[in-house]
Chains A and B, each alone.
Chain A
Amino acid sequence: MDQLLQHLVNMLVLGGTYALLGIGLTLIFGIMNVVNFTHGILYTFGAYMMFIVVHQLGLNFFVALPVAIVAGWLLGAVIEITLLRPLRGADIDTTMLVMIGAWIAMQSGALWIWGGVAKSIDNPFPDAPLVIGPVSVSWLRLFVLFAAALLIVLAYSLINLTKLGKAMRATFQDSDTAALMGVNVSLIYTSTFAIGSSLAAAAGALLGPVYVVFPQMGDLAAVKAFAIVILGGLGNITGAVIGGFILALAEELGAGYVSSGYRDAMGFLIIIMVLIFKPTGLFARAERVG
């Protein structure tokens, strides 16, 4: 029982950041229909921004976090304007190839700038964990969970409650009609991609100090983000959040009670199941066909 409680606490912490990754990608992949291979490198970028601000500029940890998120937003905007805007209207394969190229180029760039050796980021939280009965969790991870939860709520409100969110949804449903209604479609494309990117950078910035930072750290994160998006249904924000927690739960319980060697495979087993039995994702609404 104690072990189960500990696994559930671990799941919450892990699930929060998975959800963040998932929302970011579901905006881009699900709504914009861009197979975004740069999502993982934006995660890596967020973590390196933390490293730069905390260690090379010597600034406070809590200052570094918003800096990393804004930097992720800017990088996302640059990618959209330089790579995706000229390709609007091109078929999905062309865009995908360009994004693969961007991913490889940026990862090599990170390797070139920072080298292949992993870096660790200091944090201001105490070493001693918070212990409640049989369950124990580090303060840093607790902070990560709350920060992730806050960002999830912000992203959700932005998309569902604001005018920008309404314009985003309108644009990707029918961009011609949206344009006729006075929506600046180009701006919407750029801001959607930038918001998705900033969420990936936020996940990297939060998890960088928990783990270590290295140029390939985003690869596994990106694969998991795709898994979460498929699990939750393309373009479904709530689905991405729940998908993130389901993946974390599967990994924790899979490693805890089945086999730790297959920890990273657990999520994919679930996805295979979802694709066989409910191919539109667990939470996708019924779609009109044709």
Chain B
Amino acid sequence: MIRTIKAASATALAIAFLSSAATAQTIKIGVNEPLTGAFAASGTYVVNGAKIAADEINAKGGLLGKKIELVIEDNKSNPTEAAAVAEKLITRDKTPVMLGAWGSSLTLAVMPKLVEYETAMVVETSSASKITTSGNPYVFRISPPSFVEAAAFKNIVDKLALKKVDFLVINNDWGRGTAEDFSKMMKEKGITIGLIETMDQSAQDMSAQLAKIKATDSETVIITAAVDQLTLIFKQAAALGLKKRIITTGGSQNPDQIIAQAGAAANDTMHLTTFLPWMPEKTPNPEATTYFINEWKKRGFDFAGCTESFRGYDGIRTIAAAIEKAGKAEPAAIKDALWKIDVKGLNGDIIFKKSGPAGQESGQSFPNVYLVEISGGKIVMKDL
């Protein structure tokens, strides 16, 4: 018995040595995403998209002669955890660059760690404007800030003949930032802003807020939340007989999931999204989009997740391009190289422009924003 245990532990030790030797041959990329908690669905989609990119790159021979390895950690949809995960990825796993952290509040919590350890992070989803305007030179964002969403939406408000608008937003940096940027734009357009209602990120019952919105004289509600909360809002709004036009922002709505779960309640709602998986021919990079969607389906993932997962895919390809350009997997070199890349993203070219106070600018790429409408259970693109 003792001999068996000895043999087993020797083998285990040998395997441990071998595998640590093997990891030295890879380039590590940290992935800091919410895999549990309020944003679990969205974070999991992003991670699955990131894995597709990593597999694609490795199948083509990897980077600088090495395979890439994603070190994926769960930030539990919690800003404190997100900061701890960043610290762990940098100090323990020695990842020279990271992807993260989905939510604006999560990303904002990680940002001081980036400065402390001088490591860059590609921000794939967060939309609070202040992420790239607060003077953090280690932040490179590929998702549109909410002021860009608001500006894109500006062109269509006349066509929609908006008069009075209420807001129902998630009570964090993302939701409050969106309400601020959109109401500013709408006030300039002469639209009256009614209620600005908030909900906790983990709230499941929004009936009270919706009953309050139902009683106002506005004709439109702008809603900012991630997909799980959004489907609950749609069901609860239908149950309350709320008959106002609903427009969602933030690009984490997964319209197909809303159709599947909210049924008829989803009809005539509009959604600002940042990807068009329903019509790859209309995307800036149809070939890559088709490849990605096919790969996504081949892996048996829910098609609805495409509107979220492409960010993980684009994020890893952005990081890979920077590592390639840097010629070495070191934090400072990768950070400098991020400024010089031009990646054909699924939603437009990824080129970082300077944003924020001079001397410590963040990188911001400006992808496309689309407005889609659910009509008769189908998704239709609206011209912006």
User: Which residues from 195 to 240 on chain B have a C-beta closer than 8 Å to any C-beta of chain A?
Assistant: 197-200, 202-205, 207-209, 211-212, 214-215, 228, 231-232, 235, 238-240
A7 and B37 within 8 A (CB): no
Which residues of chain A are near B74, meaning CB under 8 Å? 116
Q: Collect the chain B residues with CB atoms within 8 Å of residue A287's CB.
A: none
Q: Could you say which of B124-132, B258-266, B338-346 contacts chain A? A: B258-266
Q: A14–B236 Cα gap in the complex (Å)?
A: 13
**What size tier do the contact residues of chain B reach?**
35 or more
Any chain A CB within 8 A of the CB of B35? yes
User: Given the complex, which residues of B lie within 8 Å of A7, measured CB to CB?
Assistant: 208, 211
Q: How far is the CA of A117 from the CA of B240 in the complex (A)?
A: 27
B200 in contact with A264 (CB, 8 Å): yes
B200 nearest CB neighbor, chain A only: A264
**Would B228 and A251 count as touching, CB distance under 8 A?**
no
- Chain B residues with CB under 8 Å of A111's CB are 36
Closest B residue by C-beta to A6: B211
Interface size class of A (residues with CB under 8 A): 35 or more
Look across to chain B and name the residue whose beta carbon is closest to the beta carbon of A215. B36
Q: Does B274 sit within 8 A of A, measured CB to CB?
A: no
Task: Say whether B197 contacts A3, CB under 8 Å.
Answer: no
- Which residue from chain A places its CB closest to the CB of B262 in the assembled complex? A127
Given contacts A116-B44, A138-B239, A211-B205, contact A2 B215 (CB under 8 A): yes
B214 touches A3 (CB 8 A): yes
Contact of A260 among B199, B232, B264 (CB under 8 A): B199
Interface pairs A-B: 10 shortest CB-CB: A116-B36, A255-B208, A138-B239, A116-B40, A211-B204, A3-B215, A136-B241, A6-B211, A261-B198, A129-B239
- Further contacts, 20 of them, CB under 8 A, given A129-B238, A138-B238: A2-B215, A3-B212, A10-B208, A10-B211, A14-B205, A14-B207, A115-B40, A115-B44, A116-B44, A120-B261, A136-B240, A136-B241, A138-B239, A141-B239, A255-B212, A256-B208, A256-B211, A260-B199, A263-B200, A263-B208
Which residues on A are within 8 Å of B, measured CB to CB?
A: 2-3, 6-7, 10, 14, 111, 115-118, 120, 127, 129, 131, 136-138, 141, 211-212, 214-217, 220, 251-252, 254-256, 259-261, 263-264
